[in-house]
Structure 1
């Protein structure tokens, strides 16, 4: 029978371990709120937003994972350096973040673009892992499908490298607002969100099996669409395409509502399981794809820093270097808070 561990049981077990350690120690204990003296064994997991697709160079040291498009300097690497500057050392056992990952790839192997497979991300967690950090959910929701439902350009060759298909290819992209407000589109979203919530709950539980007392931090997604969507009618400096390409102006609030709903589902899943949550959506509203020189998100058809066969791949709405640094800042802050509790 598979072992299950409730959040309450994990907290009680952690308290018992802490009490036992206290009684066994002969010397004084560390002051409350002090950073851990020893390196914290850490595993990072996630999808392309954790791997930071689009930022070069790509980590190709592990040939098996080259199609994960994991940046060498992704936010886990940058956050680790930020924490080291504060005398908090993470002993990173693994960073298994991989572009295209679904939530189920926490417990199932993932087939990669081109060829090959990578093991379930859960396999990286060991019995001595103390901290598990990362985020997934957007691919399980089908956010790329949502975007392709709203963009004729992304339904064609310009979106060929973006996984996914329009939800209903028979419904014109120009009418995507109406589609997602209709019974068919709303029903599809309701089903997808229910699916995401269930899978996130399963993921958080399974991630803790090898190390029940490990702290878990679920990381949300940075905000893509600003509250003032009129900013999206101007191309970013040096760009000719609009940040959201040909997606209709009236559909942008719909995209934002869908992302906000995903953020709420992720936050609830973390709370229900006793995990911590990094609410990037709430903290990146002035660095969306439509914030010009301050944008932390690359435009849908803006060239990223990664090339395939000599051709730049578009950002497809992923964090650029500024966005990556914001992710790292907020994740490092949350990790410091968790470790100092």
Structure 2
């Protein structure tokens, strides 16, 4: 098994967090005519920051060891569970182990927390013999989307991007050359290798869900679209904001980011199809709610302040779903789960 671990950490906050020491231990589709299950459905939610809904306050402090997972109390698993309850479908949530910074292999390997504040067990340990649903988003960190963003942004290569794990793919290539870098040569070769890894690891993850929970229905949740088809919309700040949605990323690089995200969506679809699992395709349903859609945006701008504050400092959204985006995620997930249970 591979053993590499990464977790988000801000350079600007690291010194303060270290000083806190032990104190930081705190810290859709139509349904069929079938009847909904009468008994609660044992469910496990897993995933990365898009399942945890990084950026939405308040953060879940119930498990102090997981504070730095930035798991929102009102993340899409919680909201989707309520939507389903309103429809007469009760989920018995056995666990929500989603954590910011999680890579696909953290489903079966430990995830180290920043600042040396411990580690989390593999997410698969939440699965039980009687688990019937396993739902979550994985793949974005493994493909290296944070590193791709840094490859395209000088600002993210500095302190403003310190929360994002990893550095640019090639720090010697200027951010302004992002489009060319990923179009050929070493950049294209690196990207091809990343997608090969994502496909293989998603396949392994889905196999493990079936192994540990033989009766479970795996549901892989895709990622909402970040960049619109018309990138000219990204040249205007959202209402009430001063930063552009993608900060200093060149406009000619934005279609490249969208192509990479579409390729990830297709890779996830293939893994799900091969495994006979289910997929929630958010990319295809969020073209009007990208980071550049102004008041309708479901994605917080790259350097727009999120709702989360740590040590008195607001953290950026880093292109994660805001409350509107979270609600879109929750509705699509609830609709898919209802469809599955009514088969």
TM above 0.5, one fold?
Answer: yes
3-state secondary structure, aligned to 1:94:
strand
Q: Show CA shifts across 1:277-298 (max 9, x none).
A: 0000000110000000000000
Larger Rg: 1
Q: Where does residue 325 of structure 2 map in the other structure?
A: 323
Q: Where does residue 237 of structure 2 map in the other structure?
A: 235
Residue 32 of structure 1 deviates from its aligned partner by 5.9
Q: Where does residue 104 of structure 2 map in the other structure?
A: 103
Q: Where does residue 202 of structure 1 map in the other structure?
A: 204
Q: Where does residue 78 of structure 1 map in the other structure?
A: 79
Q: Show CA shifts across 1:149-184 (max 9, x none).
A: 000000001111111210000000011001111211
Contact 2:130 2:215 in 1 (8 A): no
State the distance in 2 between where 1:293 and 1:244 align. Answer: 16
Contact 1:45 1:132 in 2 (8 A): yes
- List gaps (5 residues or longer) in structure 2: 1-31
**Superposition CA RMSD, Å:** 0.9
Q: 2:132 aligns with which of 130, 142, 145?
A: 130
Q: 2:279 aligns with which of 277, 280, 294?
A: 277
Q: Where does residue 306 of structure 1 map in the other structure?
A: 308
- List gaps (5 residues or longer) in structure 1: 1-30
Contact 2:151 2:178 in 1 (8 A): yes
Contact 2:52 2:69 in 1 (8 A): yes
Q: Where does residue 68 of structure 2 map in the other structure?
A: 67
State the distance in 2 between where 1:186 and 1:295 align. Answer: 30
**Are 2:148 and 1:146 equivalent residues in the alignment?**
yes
Q: 2:261 aligns with which of 251, 259, 262?
A: 259
Q: Show CA shifts across 1:260-291 (max 9, x none).
A: 00000001000100100000000011000000
- In the superposition, the TM-score normalised over structure 1's length comes to 0.90
State the distance in 1 between where 2:302 and 2:156 align. Answer: 9
Contact 2:226 2:290 in 1 (8 A): yes
Q: Where does residue 211 of structure 1 map in the other structure?
A: 213
Q: Would you identify which runs of 4 or more consecutive aligned residues in structure 1 move more than 6 Å? A: none
Residue 210 of structure 1 deviates from its aligned partner by 1.8
Q: Where does residue 92 of structure 1 map in the other structure?
A: 93
3-state secondary structure, aligned to 2:160:
helix
